[in-house]
Each structure stands twice: as structure tokens, then as C-alpha cells.
Amino acid sequence: MSAPKPATRPFIARDGTGSWRPGRLASVVVDALAHEIVSGRLATGDVLPTEPVLCERFGFSRTVIREGVKLLEERGLVLVEQGRGTTVQSRAAWNMLDPLVIRTALEHDDDMSMLDSLVRVRRVLEEDMAHAAAARLTDADVERLVECIDAMSDNFDDYERFREADQEFHKTVMSASGNEVGLTIVRTIHRHTGGTPPMIARAGSSRELLERTVDDHRAIYHALVERDGEEAGRLIASHIEGAWAERKRAARS
């Protein structure tokens, strides 16, 4: 069984001041150990150091260490067993929809396989929700979609505003579908693939690509208002696949 390697990441507060804040101590433990697990420095089957060792390493009390380990277990990263200690779990046990797990996994997603998986899940869900939304759109939903397309068209030179309008368009469609679970899952994916890492979000964001994105959304809009759910689903799936392919090519170039 391999011995855990010391962490190389600095243990500083999120505000970058280097000062500790009450209530953040356990999250520091979680963040550091999660990075070691996801990166493979702590491999599947490895046993975490004992509480006294972790207390010395982090400079925290046993209460803080226990809370941190508990949070890791809740995310499926470790398993605490009486008499056996705390064992690192395989990737199959991780909660891949937990924000910490997604964020940490994406930081170590060198081959972009994690992003590929998230985008595939998003495509399947949004295709189904667009199909359902076509029969459920209200006049207010239709008006909101028009506003989003107009906002995108007016903000080719302001990527953040363009992106906000883009995401609001998708949110409106998904909300209209009535699929609350699907909306929650895709919203989580949006949050972590839209800006992590930044180059993925902005890669290939040329004027031509943004104009093509608006054209895609207009086509989706027309299918929705015509109540053609099958076509709306096909178009939104094609848009997601095409946009992701462009971003991958730009990010790898």
C-alpha cells in the first residue's frame, strides 16, 4: 500500500490573505485531500493518515479533521470503517454531481474526458427537455426567449453578457419542460463547464462563432414556437455538440 505524499498546495483562505476564517477550516482539509485523491497521489485503497497525523499536518483540532473526513465521505471520496481507518474510494464511488468533486476533477482533467462526459449528459437532457418544452411554452416564456436572443445579438463584444443571455435562453427552455431534476443537473454542469477552466469558456469565441450561436438559438426558438418538439430537441442537441467541438479544437490548438 503506497504511503500518502505530502500536499504541495498552499493552505490559504479563499480570499488570498493567508488568514484563517472560522467555519472554513474543515473545507481546507476537504479541498487539500480531495485534490490528492482526484490527482491520484492518494490511490484507491490507500488509508488516510491517522487523526493525530492530520492534526499535526494541518494544525487543526481533531474536531475539524473529523468534520473534514466526514465531508469527504459524504462525497464518496473515502470510506470510514471502524477498525480499518479511512480508505480512499474508487472513482466509481465519487459523487460526480457534487460541486467540489466536479471542480476538483476538472482541475485534473488533462485529456478533457470529464468535460466530454458532462457535455454528453447535458446534450441528452436538454434534447429531451426541449422536446417537452415545445408543448408547454407560455407567452411569457416565448417573450423571454426573444429577449435572450436580442441580448446575445447586442453583446458580441461583451462575452460575459453574451454568455449570460445564452445560459438564460437554455434555462428558460428547460424550466418550461417541467423537468426540475434535469434542470438542476444541467445547471450544475453549466456552472462548472462554463468557466472552468476559463479557456474552455472563451475558446473560439470569435465574432463568427458567436453569430453562428445566435443563428442556432433562433432556429431552436422557431421550432419551439411552432410546437415541433422533435425538431427543437434535435437542434439543441446539434448546437451543444457543435459548440463543444469548436471549443475543444480551439483549446487544444
- CA atoms of 121 and 119, how far apart (whole Å): 5
For 164-218, write each residue's pLDDT tens digit: 999 999 999 999 999 999 999 998 888 776 543 333 344 445 888 899 999 999 9
User: What is the pTM (predicted TM-score) of this model?
Assistant: 0.75
How does residue 223 score in pLDDT terms, banded at 50, 70 and 90?
very high
Length of the chain measured in residues: 253
Residue-level pLDDT at 194:
58
What cell was used for 160? Answer: 460575459
> Which of residues 13 and 119 earns the better pLDDT score?
119
Contact 199, 159 (CB under 8 A): no
For 22-66, write each residue's pLDDT tens digit: 458 999 999 999 999 999 999 999 999 999 999 999 999 999 999
162-165: long-range contacts, CB 8 A cutoff, minimum separation 24: 162/210, 163/194, 163/201
Q: Side chain identity at 155, as an amino acid letter? A: N
Residue 153: pLDDT over 90: yes
How does residue 3 score in pLDDT terms, banded at 50, 70 and 90?
very low
